[in-house]
A and B are shown apart, each in its own frame.
Chain A
Amino acid sequence: MSLVHANADDMPAPTGHESMIDRFIAGERRKQRRKHLLHRLLAAGFGLFVLLVWHVATTYGFVHALIIPTPLATFEATGRVMSAEYFWPNVWVTLQEILWGFAIGLASGVILGVGVAMFDTVRATIYPYLVALQAPPKIVLAPIFITWFGFDQASKIAIAVVMCFFPMFLNTLTGLSSVDPNAIKLMRSLTAGRWKTFRYLLLPNALPIMMAGVKLCWTLAVLGVIVGEFVGASAGIGYLIYAMNFQLDIAGVFSLIILLSLFTLVVYQLIEALESRIIFWKQL
């Protein structure tokens, strides 16, 4: 009994309460941090494990070096390739192709997506054909495009455009169409016309889905360009990979694949960073 009294009188309740909450929160944070660290360690550990398997399998003759090079050989090849005279001009060729294909593919997808979404006549006229064109895998067009646009950059850009166009078109159309019917009613009740409705409601509302399309298109643009360079080219990273493969420089091929992947990933993350700024309200 006296103990209860002593507690109630000697210890101001709020302070004790607050420090208890502080301690609790600090504990929770510690737990979170520990969990986070553990997850990172797990991921890093698995990566090291794969590297180890790769190393053992290739160094001790389980897999022939002509099929899979050792990690060390790949690392050395990366240095060799990157310092080679021919490397940067070829990077530049491919980079231009990817960026042009990506940009033109996005722009055409957005423009036609907006056209089909906003005008019934445009939809009725071209939508069936756009869907029908989507049916064949775009890669089959690569040889034809080489024939049409030649061995140079134009044919690779064309392939990337064709790869990017449809996903961007469809995501634009879907984004502009998936809107709260009451929001449309609100805009109509305010006597907003087609373009005001587009500017203030439809376009911002479509941005999350459109940004998903942009990310998808980025990887497709890289894919389209590299495939195009495989099929027929006299320069570019795809051409280098093809040529090195032909010369049985497998370590060189591996290093180019790794560099290409890193590049694609870095740009992808840049797009994601941009995305989280553009559609900031999704995180609220």
Chain B
Amino acid sequence: MNTGLIDGRHITKVYATATGPLVALDDVSFSIREGEFISLVGPSGCGKSTLLSILGGLEEKSDGTLVLAGKHHDAPRPDLGMMFQTSVLFPWRTIRENVRLPGIILGLDKKQQAERCEELIDMVGLKGFGDRYPGELSGGMRQRVALARLLAHDPRVLLMDEPFGALDEFTRETMNVELLRIWEKTGKTVVFVTHNIGEAVFLSDRIFVMTPRPGRLEGIVEVDLPRPRTMEAMRDPRFADHVFNIRRMLGVDH
């Protein structure tokens, strides 16, 4: 029926725990189009990170089907890229060497990768920092490096697990604007996990609102704010409406 880039049908994930089975995801279905910016929003325990791991092929689903680009998908693949709440940079590698890591692991052309990684380091605003080590950089700068590394092997889908969740509010907002700029330039498909509703509205085309115990897809919100978006978007009355609607869907309005 749906022919998106990623199609999930009745995806269910059950963990066996000491106190009995725990339903982390209960019958979740969705379709994601190529080039879309999707956010998964919900409180802790709603299964958003589990869903992201399943999308990344890192975790097995208990039931349901998942199709990526027309093929059944249940293992990591090089056209996906992952980014985490922590930068996960290797402290013994320079910034440049960290960004080159995906290319090295995947055995990509060295010369092309060298050029591409320099471009990416420039693009995330870290020109001149290539020879530094992660230990010399601030938290925000490290996430910029992680963003460059995410793009190094030119993946088709970016899976981002609360990538700015550990940053302070100001740095996070700057990173949001940067991410949009990069996304608009590259046209990647993004699945972005966050528990920050404002962040989700600001960034996304559509927001998957998820509720916990068991993890369910409560609803999907289409964000009709114009693109390209700048900070101005936050003054749009529709911005506040979306934030309010999502709050209500999550049951935090009473």
Contact = CB atoms under 8 A, between A and B. Distances in A.
A244 B153 CA distance: 69
Nearest to A280: B92
A192 B105 contact: yes
Given A185-B58, A186-B84, A204 B105 contact: no
Given A182-B86, A185-B58, A189-B80, A281 B91 contact: yes
B91 A191 contact: no
Contacts of A284: 91, 133-136
A180 interface: yes
Nearest to A283: B135
Interface in B74-99: 76-78, 80-82, 84-86, 88, 90-92
Contact of B101 (A185, A200, A205): A200
A191 B106 contact: yes
B102 interface: yes
A183 interface: yes
Contacts of B92: 204, 207, 279-281
Nearest to B86: A182
B104 interface: yes
Sorting the interface of chain B by its residue count into under 10, 10 to 19, 20 to 34 or 35 or more gives 20 to 34
A284 to B, nearest CB: 3
Contacts of A192: 105
A172 B97 CA distance: 25
A183 B89 CA distance: 8
Nearest to B94: A281
Contacts of A280: 92
Question: Which of A180, A191, A204, A205 has the most chain B CB atoms closer than 10 A to its own CB?
Answer: A191
A201 interface: yes
Interface in B135-167: 135-136, 153, 159
Main secondary structure of the interface of A (DSSP, over half): helix
Contacts, number: 62
A28 B72 CA distance: 65
B159 to A, nearest CB: 8
Nearest to A204: B92
Contacts of B81: 189
A188 interface: yes
Given A191-B76, A192-B105, A284-B133, A185 B82 contact: yes
Nearest to B102: A190
A207 B91 CA distance: 12
Interface in A69-121: none
A196 B106 CA distance: 10
Contacts of B77: 191
A134 B80 CA distance: 45
A187 interface: yes
A185 B84 contact: yes
Given A201-B90, A284-B91, A188 B102 contact: no
Contacts of A186: 82, 84, 88
B56 interface: yes
Interface of A: 180, 182-183, 185-192, 196, 200-201, 204-205, 207, 279-281, 284
25 contacts: A180-B86, A180-B88, A182-B86, A183-B88, A185-B53, A186-B84, A186-B88, A187-B105, A189-B56, A189-B80, A189-B159, A190-B76, A190-B78, A190-B102, A191-B77, A191-B106, A192-B105, A200-B90, A200-B105, A205-B90, A207-B92, A281-B133, A281-B135, A284-B91, A284-B136
Q: Closest 5 A-B residue pairs measured CB to CB?
A: A284-B135, A189-B82, A281-B91, A182-B84, A190-B105
Given A180-B86, A190-B106, 10 more contacts: A182-B88, A185-B53, A185-B56, A188-B76, A189-B76, A190-B76, A191-B77, A191-B78, A205-B90, A281-B133
